[in-house]
Amino acid sequence: MAKIIVDPVTRIEGHLKLEVEVEGNVVVDAFMGGALWRGLETIMQGRDPRDAEQIMQRICGVCPTGHATAGILALDDAFGIEPPPAGRIIRNLIFGSNYIQSHILHFFHLAALDYVKGPEIAPFKPRYEADFRLPQDVNDQAVAIYLEALTVRRQAHEMLTIWGGKMPHVQAIVPGGVSEVPDTSKIYQFLTSLEKITDFINKKYVPTVKAVAGVYSDWFDVGRGCQNMLAYGAFPQEEGMDHIKKKKFFNSGVYIDGQYKDLDPKVITEDVKYAWYKDGIDPSPENAVLTPDAKKKDAYSWMKAPRYNGKAMEVGPLARQWINKTKDVVDLGPKAFSVMGRHFARAIETAQMAAACKDWAMELTKYAGQPVCTPHKLPTKEVVGMGLTEASRGALGHWHRISSDGRTKVYNAVVPTTWNASPRTGSGAATLRGPMEQAIIGTTVKDANNPVELVRIIRAFDPCFGCAIHIMTPDKKTISQFAIN
């Protein structure tokens, strides 16, 4: 039995080690290893709970807005408050702008170079040598769009800052709403930027993905995975304290063993059997306090293993589109659960989000001069807040236990990449691998020295190991330096 190790996997967010076992060029087992400990939850312990909005954004510089949103929803839940309509809409505009930027980043600047052959210069080199199939004119056009997308991403960031104050870590999302007040000039500025970005999405991003999917149609049969889908739902469309049942742009729900079901957060657990943490933790995110154990036998990742009623669940754009029964995605049938199905779902979702942001901005004109935030007080008894949303990469939940003295007691963030790239649970015949491990098993690797098939599968999930794992030294000491070919 041969072994292939890719360490680190490049053109993703953060640090991933992939190890697979191969027999006759076919992957028979896979190990997805997060190489660093995150630890930000421990920083929150003993602090003013309102610090979470800024501290937990530092989990990631690419998708901090998702963590700001989940963290604030947890505080809203704990404080028993919710934003007024203007605050709700502005939150959606901030978050939606980040979705657009993130999806464009993922396809063009992380994944596209698996299919589009760039010039023989950086940043297009070094790379694995893939089977580049696009006709030369289409390929050249895709390279030009890659470069244009850099500008479009900047414009999306600028569009977000109209309401969020700055990026990558926004300032305007606060308990009970936002701190930014709408006016017609800001709405006009937002819509002007959005119009240009929407034109890029509809005329260049989506057509490029469709062109790649047409030429690489065989990749609709690669990377199937667990085929169980989970979405918490996001972008509320109405007021109401029931954050599961209230109307949202992306609905909450699960798709398990071929059946659609309602979401039940009570059955979400995290397992650490193969993660570098001491065993015996409370499996519930609202209670778990982790102790690192870097020498733990049989462990191979700093990522925990989230499970839904014991099931491994895929999260992300494909899960959202499948649970919301988007026709173009559902019509793919089983082929949707694939490398190319994930790229296609993400592109469709980007167009959806751009259109929704336009509607929300127009709706905001009705609320000029109205409140954007609901006042709050710190609780005087121990409470638990749960903030469930959809980061661009998938289902994101923050659980925040606040003690009676008004300080954070327990904090846990269960992020999209811990769902998708989680290590296995169980043992022997009961071993259950994570969704990405399952998607890789069964893949044919033509050349062990050039395993492009493996990284294509990984990148289609758009993993963010910056969210899943972290390490820092207060004195800014350089721990190691590497030159990666």
What pLDDT shows up at residue 62? Answer: 77
What is the spatial distance between Cα 87 and Cα 367, in angstroms, rounded to a whole number? Answer: 10
Report pLDDT digits (tens) over 408-423: 999 999 999 999 999 9
Distances in Å between the Cα of 321 and the Cα atoms of 141, 172, 207, 247, 400 are 28, 29, 18, 16, 29
Sheet holding 16-23, edge to edge: 2-6, 16-23, 26-34
Predicted confidence band of residue 466 (pLDDT cuts 50, 70, 90): low
Given CATH 1.10.1040.10, say whether it is the number of domain 4-222+331-403+437-481. no
Q: What is the pLDDT of residue 34?
A: 87
CA atoms in the 13 A half-sphere facing the CB of 259: 4
Instruction: Please state the pTM of the whole predicted model.
Output: 0.94
Specify whether the CB–CB gap between 387 and 73 falls below 8 A: yes
Q: Which of 443, 442, 439, 454 is nearest to 225 (CA)?
A: 439
How confident is the model over 428-447, as pLDDT tens digits? Answer: 999 999 999 999 999 999 99
- Tell me, what's the pLDDT at 379? 92
Beta bridge partners of 39: none
> Alpha-carbon distance 86 to 383, whole Å?
27
CA 457-114-319 angle, 5° bins: 40
Asked if 193 and 158 count as a contact pair (C-beta separation under 8 A), the reply is yes
More confident: 217 or 8: 217
Judge if the upstream peptide bond of residue 451 is cis by omega within 30 degrees of 0. Answer: no
92 burial level (CB within 10 Å; 0-12, 13-18, 19+)? buried
For 332-376, the pLDDT digits (tens) are 999 999 999 999 999 999 999 999 999 999 999 999 889 999 999
pLDDT tens digits, one per residue of 41-52: 889 999 999 999
Q: Does the pLDDT at position 480 exceed 60?
A: no
Report whether 207 contacts 142 (CB < 8 A). Answer: no
Q: Please report where in the chains the tokens 């988007």 appear, as a residue.
A: 326
Least confident among 56-60, 378-382, 402-406: 56-60
Tokens of 304: 């925990």
Percentage, residues of the chain above pLDDT 90: 84
For residues 471 and 58, give the distance between their C-alpha atoms in angstroms, rounded to a whole number: 12
DSSP state of 485: -
Mean per-residue pLDDT, 214-239:
97
Count of beta carbons in the 10 Å neighbourhood of residue 478: 6
Amino acid type, 314: E
Is the pLDDT reported for residue 94 higher than 70? yes
Structural domain spans, the chain:
4-222+331-403+437-481
φ and ψ at residue 236, rounded to 5 degrees: -60, 140
pLDDT top residue among 416 and 483: 416
Evaluate if residue 471 carries a pLDDT over 60: no
pLDDT given at position 125: 83
Cβ(305)–Cβ(271) under 8 Å?
A: yes
Residue 464 in this model has a pLDDT that exceeds 90: no
Look at residue 368 in the predicted model and tell me its pLDDT. 87
pLDDT for the residue numbered 279: 95
Kindly report the CA angle at 70 between 382 and 201, in degrees rounded to 5?
175
pLDDT of residue 468: 54
Taking only Cα atoms into account, the Rg of the chain, rounded to an integer number of angstroms, comes to 22
Q: In this structure, are residues 261 and 244 in contact, taking their beta carbons and an 8 Å threshold?
A: no
